[in-house]
Structures are given as C-alpha cells and as structure tokens.
Amino acid sequence: MLVQFPFDNELIACIRKVQGATFSASYKSWHVPNSSETMDDLKRVFAGVALIEVPGVQTGHTSDEKNDVLSGEQKMEDRPGNSLIDESQESIVLTQIMKFTRWMEQKRYSASTIKTYTDALRVFFRFHRGTAVEKISNQDVVRFNNEYILENHYSVTYQSQVINSIKLFYRRIQEKELNIEKIDRPRRQHKLPNVLSKEEVSAILKAPKNIKHQAMLSLIYSCGLRRSEMLKLKPSDVDSRRNLLIIRNSKGFKDRVAPLSDKTIAMLRSYYKVYKPKVWLFEGQYAGEPYSEQSLQNVFKHALKAARIVKPATLHWLRHSYATHLLENGTDLRYIQEILGHKSSRTTEIYTHVTNKSLQKITSPFDLLDI
C-alpha cells in the first residue's frame, strides 16, 4: 500500500515504526505491506497524530485530526457527489501528477516549487474525488477556492500557489486552458520584511562555538544569501583575490556576485583549515555530501536560543537585515538590488519602509506639546 503525506518529521517518525515500511524514491512516498496486520499497525502508530484515509474505506478518525496521511490534506466532510475515489482513479491521478513532476524537473523548476505545486494538486484532486481529471472546470476551481481554502482560512500565499499549480498543470499536461483570470485571486498582501537590529545580528553570529556554524550564518548575513544559495556554494565560488562571492544558478537561474569583506574571508580561511571541504563549501556529516537545510535551521535555532532572542526569527531574516543595514549605511538602492539578485527594483524598495535612518530624524508633534 502506498502511504502519502506532506513532509513532516513527526509523521516520518511514525511510519518508521510500521513493520515493513519502505521509502520509494521514485514515488517519493512510503509503501507498506498490504495486510490487516499492517492496517492495525498504522492505526496504532498514527493514533492521535493523523487521520488515515484509504481509497474505498474511511477508517475511524483521531481526536485532533492533525493530518490526513494518504492525501496530505485536513479532514473534510463527505459532500454529495464526492464519494471516495476508487483505486483506478487514484492511479490515474497519481500518474498525472508524476507526469507533471517530470515536466517541471525537465524545465528545471526548483525542488521547493515542485513540492509546493504537487502537494497543492494532490489536495485539489482529493477535494474533487470522483471527478475525472479531464472533467475539471472553472466552476470546480471556484468551488475549491470557496469551500476549502476560504472555509479553512488558509493563507493568501497558499491560495495563489494552488491557483498557479492548477493553471500550469492543465496548460502543460492536459493541454487545456482553464480561465483562471475569471477566478477572484486574493488581494496582494504588502507585508514589511522582518529585520533584526545590528546588535541582535551580532549576538546571533557570535553564539555558535563551532567555527563551521559561525561561518555559515556569517556568510548568509554578510552577503545577503538565501538559504539554498549558501548550501550550493563550492570552494571555487570564493574569489578572495577580488573579494567577491560568486552565486551561481540562484533564483531565476541567474548568476550574480556579492562583495566579500576581509573579515568574512579571514573567517572562511579559518574554517577551511579545520574542515577542508572537498566538493561543497559547507559539507554534511560525510565528505562530498552537501549540508542539509534541516541541519542549518537547527544551527540557527540554537544560535537564537544562545543569544537569548525570543523573536520568531528565521534564516531569511538575516538576508532582510543585511539589505536594511546596507540601506541605513547609505548604499545605493540599485547596488542592493544587484547584490540580492532582485529582478525588479520594486522588490528592493520595500526595505526603504523599514530603515530607521530617516525615521529617527522625524520629531513627533507629541514632543512639541507643552504637557
């Protein structure tokens, strides 16, 4: 039996407890022996953690219904005309999604985009269970938007991702145009980037005792890197003679360079002498293996704790902070755009709303009152 669920460490830990569970790299899913004993095992290990749904059979759901193991969606009440899809329909849907995945891989979509789009499609087709893929219409997309996304109060970002994935799937795989433009998209949110103060950044970068951990976090901040860009760096990308870091094949398949300070180069040299990486600038537990995203997240999490910063900061906050601090130091916005690799200057301009250099010069009228 194929067992599918979105990436979640807790769910992975549960499935590992099932006897005979094996991960399939080709289907990017787990499979287990098809037996009543295995089903009892699944119920036991996922009790209180996930809802188990089997095509053709609805097993009892748990108290909190945190996850739907097979479909990767939260529990929905059965609706008229939406009976559980049979195994043949499930196979057709899975084949179509795998075809879409291969197309995106050939087009060199990023791994995160592929995962986001395929996960969204699984949820969409599970909602329309019983309806053939080729029979889906604009009205079905509207109903999914109203009855699933809006009713469950999912984010604006998720809503846009689902619409984009559906539109791309039908245009490229089904060769059918859904008139997505008729579907009301959410109003674009204008959120300000989260920024740490220079003192907070300094505390975070000083926190790690391991030179490797310190070098990774310092490089992200000192060059305004995305997490994926830092993990894909190779030793040859560090041009110490010209004080440049070469960032290859970043977002949008673009190469760019970022200035490297003497202080950063000195730290990288100290790190290199100790670890001597062979393939990647920062390698994992084994030589030639890239450092994992999860391990990097843990490094940052421990640094936050050691620095006693209680803000819900993420690694991307370091990139936002770098851009904001550059702007406060008087760096031209056009240079910041090039360093960060932004396609549009409008993306970079958002940092002008969080810099405090000009705001601090403003005198509040409250201070002028005689009270």
- Residue 68, pLDDT > 50, answer no
Nearest-angstrom CA–CA distance, 121 and 100? 10
Closest listed residue to residue 63, CA positions, set 45, 78, 50, 44: 50
CB 66 within 8 A of CB 50: yes
What element of type H or E holds 320? Answer: helix 315-328
pLDDT, one tens digit per residue, over 83-122 is: 333 456 677 888 888 889 999 988 888 888 888 899 889 8
Distances (CA, A) of 165 to 101, 171, 173: 11, 10, 11
Distances (CA, A) of 204 to 200, 201, 281: 6, 5, 21
pLDDT, one tens digit per residue, over 188-212 is: 666 778 899 999 999 999 999 999 9
276: left (phi over 0), alpha (psi -120 to 50) or beta: left
Residue 84: its pLDDT value, please? 34
Nearest-angstrom CA–CA distance, 96 and 124? 13
> Would the pTM count as exceeding 0.95?
no
In the chain, where the domains are located: 2-182, 198-358
Nearest-angstrom CA–CA distance, 63 and 49? 9
**Fold classified for 198-358:** hpI Integrase; Chain A (1.10.443)
Domain 2-182 has CATH 3.30.70.2970: no
- Residue 77, pLDDT > 50, answer no
pLDDT, one tens digit per residue, over 308-323 is: 999 999 999 999 999 9
Q: Of the ranges 156-160, 263-267, 325-329, which is most confident?
A: 263-267
Is pLDDT larger for residue 15 or for residue 54? 15
- Write the burial class of residue 219 (CB in 10 Å: 0-12 exposed, 13-18 middle, 19+ buried): buried
Please list the active-site residues.
Answer: 226, 251, 316, 319, 342, 351
